[in-house]
Amino acid sequence: MTTHSHEATQQLADIRRSIADRVLWLSTAMVHRANNVRPNEDGMKVGGHQSSCASSIHILSSLFFETLGADDRIAIKPHASPVYHSIRYLFGDLEESYMDQFRAFGGLQAYPSRTKDPDGSDFSTGSVGLPGPAVAFAALTRDYLESKDLSTTASRFFAHLGDAELDEGSIWEAVAEPALEGISRCVWVIDVNRQSLDRVVPGIRIDRFRQMFEVNGWTAIVAKYGSQLTELMSRPGGHALRRRIDDMPNEEYQGLLVCDSTEVRERLVSGTGSLQRDLERCLQDVGDDELQTRIANLGGHDFETLNSAYQEAAVAPGPAVIFAYTVKGYGLEAAADPRNHAALLTNEQFDVFANQLTMDPEQPWQRFDEESQEGQYAATAHTRVARPDTETSRGYEFVDTNLNAPDVTSTQDIFGRMLVELDRTSPDSAQRIVTASADVATSTNLSSWINRVGLWSRSEAEDYLGFQERVLKWIESPEGRHIELGISEMNLMVMLGQLGLAEQVSGQRLIPIGTVYDPFVARGLDGLLHALYSGSKFMLVATPSGVSLSSEGGAHQGVITPSIGIATPGITYYEPAFAQDLEWIMLHSLNEMGSGIGESTLLRLSTRPVDQSLFPGTHTDQLRADAIAGCYRLRTADPNALARINIFAVGAVVPEAAAAVVLLAEEGIDANVFVVTSPDLLNRRVTAAATDEAAGTSEGYWDPTGLLSDHEVGLPTISVIDGAPSSMAFLGSALDCPTVNLGVSEYGQSGNLEDLYRHFGIDAQGIYHSALALTDRLRRRH
């Protein structure tokens, strides 16, 4: 090496060291000051994860300062969010005031948030096991767009993950997902500190994990040892040291990091049989302290090792995973301590730490001087990652359809017909629709759509079964607009989340629609919540649903989806009864997604054929607006009837309410019947009315639904839904009236529709008996 290049190497090493030290300092100080300096008004622990941050310092610094470009996207390990913010701060992308606002209201979020952090990260993280799959599906989304010759703003996708995340099933569902085979430019960097929250992860698991990635087509790269340790291993006898450490369980290695430095040699050498002599030879010229430092010199703390791993990943034919070995708590008092996950430095320890790094605890937020080498290095990196402004996509509009619904039909049937109709009537906008299902495309009625638009794959696939006449053509090509997954509802939800963020992440808007059996929404629920929390917009169709599925039985009859639909922010849950309701609701939802406004939609549909003649004859604009707003009136009771009630019916059981009216007429009881197309929106409406009332802005008689006339307020009320009855239980208290909520409170069972509706009391008879009981209750009260 020439003197000149030696100097340059040394200079670069110095810059890297001071960058890493500063990132370590800033992230540690951010957590420290949030806990120990910022006034604490409620006495609650603020928290933060200094050790998790410390183990990620070099991985994230090498990525942001030397590797990432403007068109690369990255998910950050949740507990390393302060590291991300510190780097953004050094880039000048984050104002200084935020550095003291970690975990404060309106400040930096505990975990990276796309939507709430001022220096917005590319992916929201927090629930471990989901960011890796999200990144992989974001890469798939980019591939999908590129296969359609749409220009994208995203190139490579990186995920920085904790090693204990690999315990989550969602990781392996994604790794084994056939649809993800062949994704390229997707790199997961695993921060292998061998610790989870509670403990040192037992045994040596990485080797097993590595093989699991490899058999699924990933290139696995191990960044295990840093240059100092590698140098030691290259000395005479060094092969024994490598073998000794490679074969060592995590707990034993972790012991070497935390024991007194005088013990390290003994622990390494004793009881090693044939290796002992070579080990002693290798270690003979190394002092105790240096030996411990070198043992801790892992690949995940070494820029050179990491950079060569990134380079290897860059030329991998498919997705790649890098196992970057690190020390949890690197550079801190609690380094490698099995209990360090949430440990915080004390004030005294923080002062010592400041001293070590020659930083001032009173003036912690020092950036590099612009003229300094580090300052220039940071400026160059910032220019590389700075993103150009992007334009918002144009809107995609869907014109009114004019569906010829059969006289008796189900909402699931209409859903399938609508997709085809939309492609016919709004062909340009429908190009942006992408459907997805986890092996239930046919049973959720996507067949006609798939026959029309085809299945998506990276390349034309051979149609080996093409010689047969088939009802469903299964033709795969890059032109296709349906993405079929293996049976993983979790993958479906994570993918919908990323398809629904296609514009924000890759620069092109998509309109995603996914189908799932209603009971299996729960199977992918955390993926769904993560997608919504991330701000994604998509349509999720839960079909078939409820005991209306009759003979299919309890394992397939969903009960709790309405409650999920009501309680989950960011998604509007609809459960229409009639073809016309669904047509209007789908158009509304798709037009919102096409314009990039509104929120996601959950459609709970049914296979129950419903007589469409029950639907109001005149289709006014008001009726349409009411159906979209969540509830409309189907019939009005005679004000002179002996007794009157209100019935609010949801979805497939609306015909039961209509039939109950006939039975009740014989008792002199008449009913107002309301079709609730969205229990969710009705609930939001009554909540908003109560808020208005509390603010003193509501006037006139109390009707939070906005659907009743004054003489209908307070009438006995019955709600009926093929789902958990508590999902409609908000109604009675909101209306101040005697109420019964009918629904399904047990797991279902096989049977015909009549038997099941009778068994669960959601048939006309059930409504009839409840109405009698309620009117009687009212009579007794008077």
Ligand X SMILES: Cc1ncc(C[n+]2csc(CCOP(=O)(O)OP(=O)(O)O)c2C)c(N)n1
Contact positions toward ligand X, by CB under 6 A? 52, 55, 77, 79, 127-129, 162-165, 191, 193, 195-197, 328, 341
513 strand-pairing partners: 435, 539
Closest CA to 157 of 194, 116, 187: 187
Pick between residue 127 and residue 698 the one whose CB is nearest to ligand X: 127
Does position 163 interact with Mg ion (CB under 5 A)? The reply is yes
The backbone torsions φ and ψ at residue 441, rounded to the nearest 5 degrees and listed phi first, read: -60, -45
Pick between residue 166 and residue 282 the one whose CB is nearest to ligand X: 166
Pick between residue 254 and residue 672 the one whose CB is nearest to Mg ion: 254
Q: How far is the CB of 329 from ligand X (least distance, A)?
A: 10
Pick between residue 55 and residue 561 the one whose CB is nearest to ligand X: 55
Q: Determine the Cα–Cα distance for residues 493 and 172; give it in Å rounded to an integer.
A: 15
Q: Using the rule CB under 5 A, give the single segment among 156-164, 466-474, 489-497, 613-621 that binds Mg ion.
A: 156-164
Q: Which does 55 bind (CB under 5 to 8 A by kind): ligand X, Mg ion, none?
A: ligand X
Does position 193 interact with Mg ion (CB under 5 A)? The reply is yes
Q: Which does 173 bind (CB under 5 to 8 A by kind): ligand X, Mg ion, none?
A: none
Q: Using the rule CB under 5 A, give the single segment among 134-142, 164-172, 382-390, 722-730 that binds Mg ion.
A: 164-172
Pick between residue 416 and residue 527 the one whose CB is nearest to ligand X: 527
Contact present, 168 and 522 (Cβ < 8 Å): no
Q: Which does 21 bind (CB under 5 to 8 A by kind): Mg ion, ligand X, none?
A: none
Q: Which does 302 bind (CB under 5 to 8 A by kind): Mg ion, ligand X, none?
A: none
Q: Determine the Cα–Cα distance for residues 95 and 372; give it in Å rounded to an integer.
A: 20
Q: Say if residue 677 is exposed, middle or buried (CB neighbours under 10 Å; 0-12, 13-18, 19+).
A: buried
Question: Of these, 48, 129, 132, 162, which contacts Mg ion (CB under 5 A)?
Answer: 162
717 strand-pairing partners: 646, 739
Q: How far is the CB of 575 from ligand X (least distance, A)?
A: 29
Pick between residue 189 and residue 657 the one whose CB is nearest to ligand X: 189
Q: Which does 127 bind (CB under 5 to 8 A by kind): Mg ion, ligand X, none?
A: ligand X
Pick between residue 111 and residue 538 the one whose CB is nearest to Mg ion: 111
Q: How far is the CB of 401 from Mg ion (least distance, A)?
A: 52
Q: How far is the CB of 660 from ligand X (least distance, A)?
A: 45
Q: Which does 22 bind (CB under 5 to 8 A by kind): Mg ion, ligand X, none?
A: none
Q: Determine the Cα–Cα distance for residues 627 and 675; give it in Å rounded to an integer.
A: 8
Closest CA to 594 of 433, 447, 715: 433
Q: How far is the CB of 136 from ligand X (least distance, A)?
A: 17
- Select the residue whose beta carbon is closest to ligand X and give its number: 162
Q: How far is the CB of 224 from ligand X (least distance, A)?
A: 16
Does position 195 interact with Mg ion (CB under 5 A)? The reply is yes
Looking up tokens 């360090």, which residue turns up? 340
Pick between residue 22 and residue 328 the one whose CB is nearest to ligand X: 328
Q: How far is the CB of 326 from ligand X (least distance, A)?
A: 8
Q: How far is the CB of 204 from ligand X (least distance, A)?
A: 15
Helix runs in 191-302, H state only: 206-215, 227-233, 238-246, 250-258, 264-269, 276-283, 288-295
Contact present, 496 and 178 (Cβ < 8 Å): no
Q: Determine the Cα–Cα distance for residues 172 and 160; give it in Å rounded to an integer.
A: 16
Closest CA to 254 of 305, 286, 298, 189: 298
Helix runs in 486-638, H state only: 489-499, 502-506, 525-533, 561-567, 579-595, 621-629
Looking up tokens 């789908």, which residue turns up? 586
Pick between residue 169 and residue 598 the one whose CB is nearest to ligand X: 169
Closest CA to 195 of 241, 268, 253: 253
Q: How far is the CB of 51 from ligand X (least distance, A)?
A: 7
Task: Give Cβ neighbours of residue 261 (< 8 Å, ≥ 6 apart).
Answer: 288, 289, 291, 292
Q: Which does 530 bind (CB under 5 to 8 A by kind): ligand X, Mg ion, none?
A: none
Pick between residue 113 and residue 326 the one whose CB is nearest to Mg ion: 326
Looking up tokens 């309701």, which residue turns up? 581
Q: Which does 337 bind (CB under 5 to 8 A by kind): ligand X, Mg ion, none?
A: none
Q: How far is the CB of 192 from ligand X (least distance, A)?
A: 8
Q: Say if residue 4 is exposed, middle or buried (CB neighbours under 10 Å; 0-12, 13-18, 19+).
A: exposed
Q: Which does 197 bind (CB under 5 to 8 A by kind): ligand X, Mg ion, none?
A: ligand X
Q: Which does 651 bind (CB under 5 to 8 A by kind): ligand X, Mg ion, none?
A: none
Q: How far is the CB of 296 from Mg ion (least distance, A)?
A: 16
DSSP string, 379-423: HHHHHHHPPPP-PPPPP---PPP-----SEE-HHHHHHHHHHHHH
Distance of CA 412 to the CA centre of its chain: 26
> What is the rounded radius of gyration, in angstroms, for the C-alpha atoms of the chain?
31
Closest CA to 602 of 535, 537, 653: 537
Pick between residue 61 and residue 506 the one whose CB is nearest to ligand X: 61
Pick between residue 343 and residue 778 the one whose CB is nearest to ligand X: 343
Contact present, 492 and 437 (Cβ < 8 Å): yes
Burial pattern 55-75, b for ≥16 Cβ within 10 A else e, equals bbbbbbbbbbbbbbeebbbbb
Q: Which does 129 bind (CB under 5 to 8 A by kind): Mg ion, ligand X, none?
A: ligand X
Site residue total, Mg ion (CB under 5 A):
5
Q: Determine the Cα–Cα distance for residues 68 and 132; give it in Å rounded to an integer.
A: 17
Helix (H, G, I), strand (E, B) or coil at 367: coil
Q: Which does 717 bind (CB under 5 to 8 A by kind): ligand X, Mg ion, none?
A: none
Q: How far is the CB of 209 from Mg ion (least distance, A)?
A: 13
Q: How far is the CB of 172 from ligand X (least distance, A)?
A: 14
Q: Which does 113 bind (CB under 5 to 8 A by kind): Mg ion, ligand X, none?
A: none
Pick between residue 129 and residue 237 the one whose CB is nearest to Mg ion: 129
Q: Determine the Cα–Cα distance for residues 580 and 582; give it in Å rounded to an integer.
A: 5
Q: Which does 142 bind (CB under 5 to 8 A by kind): Mg ion, ligand X, none?
A: none
Pick between residue 198 and residue 611 the one whose CB is nearest to Mg ion: 198
Q: How far is the CB of 162 from Mg ion (least distance, A)?
A: 4
Looking up tokens 């796309």, which residue turns up? 114
Pick between residue 83 and residue 647 the one whose CB is nearest to ligand X: 83
The pair of three-digit structure tokens given for residue 771, joined into one six-digit string:
């109405």
Q: Which does 52 bind (CB under 5 to 8 A by kind): ligand X, Mg ion, none?
A: ligand X
Overall size of the chain counted in residues: 782
The pair of three-digit structure tokens given for residue 332, joined into one six-digit string:
């801190």
Q: How far is the CB of 49 from ligand X (least distance, A)?
A: 6
Binding residues (CB under 5 A) for Mg ion: these are 162-164, 193, 195
